[in-house]
Structure 1
Amino acid sequence: MGRLSDLGLSLTDLLPHREPMVLVEEILEVDRTVAQTRSTVRTSWPLAESDGVQPLVLIELAAQTAGVCNGWDRINTKGPDSEKMGYLVGVKRARLPEELLGYGQRLLVRAENKHDFGNLREVFCTVSREDEVIAEITLQLFQA
């Protein structure tokens, strides 16, 4: 695994997202099967309320982390100028916290490709706050 900065890539090289929908702040590790990112819960996030953010937003955060890994794989297999098409994302399973996510909380997200069938991938994601896993999400990604 390598740090993104060591690879000469930026977040915009890997994801089709742009502000204000970019939730990932920092890519800690990435290779063709695993990505680990860090983010801070912010008032600018989707589903923000006065006291915090609805935990459903963790699905988007997990999908973006999965996109980092699969974007890295795309660049390594098809080249840096390859089409940055996004994935259609289905949620196969999700265990989310019931309480709002507090502003300023730092979240660590890990996404791992468990199955790769060409244009279809199944990705298992965990979201941690400090040393506690607060969410587990299994995504199915399809790229046309």
Structure 2
Amino acid sequence: MSQETRFDSRLFELIPHRPPMLLINEVLDVTETSSASRTYVDEESPFFEAEKGVPAWIGLEYMGQTAALIAGHQLALGKVTPHLGFLLGTRSFKTHCDYFAPGKYTVRCEEKALVGDGLATFDCFIENEPKDGSDVQCLATASLSVFRRPV
């Protein structure tokens, strides 16, 4: 898959990340308080390890970039001023796998709290997208704390 078709063009409108550190591939949904993205895990994915996939801890960045879609959408609507988002930390990061095996994954984020203009928290989930008709499984969850600094 070429670079041009590997990434949904809306990503470039909503978040500042660019390859090789753009880790999500498609915008599935975005509102003022929630977002969903799709991530492809394959040999072209950053951090991919042969015979394994992508380490599960990279899921934190999948979540962070998906949460950033919300801020980008809010900015496009004129609801916030331009700012940088810094991941301050995470609570309750849990994974049910050591690696994300090759395939597609859905990442979902919900803004849970906003303290002034500076601090936001998000509840995030990563689910597999099974090809064989089996059940969707939640593979990772976390609560992210993000500091928003005006630019």
Name the TM-score, length of structure 1 as normaliser. 0.83
Which one-letter code corresponds to 1:21 in the other structure?
A: M
| Partner-residue secondary structure (3-state), 1:13 | helix
Q: CA deviation at 1:70?
A: 1.5
Deviation at 1:141, TM superposition (A): 0.7
For residues 66 and 111 of structure 2, the distance between their equivalents in structure 1, rounded to whole angstroms, comes to: 11
User: 2:54 corresponds to which residue?
Assistant: 53
Conserved in 2, the CA contact under 8 Å of 1:93 and 1:137?
A: yes
Contact 2:23–2:46 under 8 Å retained in 1: no
**1:138 and 2:143 equivalent?**
yes
Task: Give the structure 2 partner of residue 100 of structure 1.
Answer: 99
User: 2:69 and 2:55 mapped to 1: Cα distance?
Assistant: 23
**For structure 1, which runs of at least 5 residues remain unmatched after alignment?**
1-8
Q: What residue identity is the alignment partner of 2:107?
A: V
Partner of 1:77: 78
Q: Which runs of 4+ in 1 moved over 4 A?
A: none
Structure with more strand by fraction: 2
Residue 74 of structure 1 deviates from its aligned partner by 1.8
Amino acid at match of 1:138: S
| Superposition deviation, residue 15 in structure 1 | 0.8
Q: How many residues align?
A: 132
TM-score normalised by L of structure 2: 0.79
**Inter-partner Cα distance in structure 1 for 2:126 and 2:92:** 14
Structure 2 residue runs of 5 or longer lacking an equivalent are 1-8, 130-135
1:2-23 deviation per Cα after TM superposition (whole angstroms, max 9, x unaligned): xxxxxxx821121110111111
> Sequence identity of aligned pairs in percent?
27
Distance between the aligned counterparts of 1:92 and 1:16, measured in 2?
Answer: 25
Structural RMSD (CA): 1.8
1:103-131 CA-to-partner distances (Å, cap 9, x unmatched) read 2x110011000001121100000100131
SS of corresponding position for 2:32: coil
Q: Is the 8 A contact 1:127 1:133 kept in 2?
A: yes
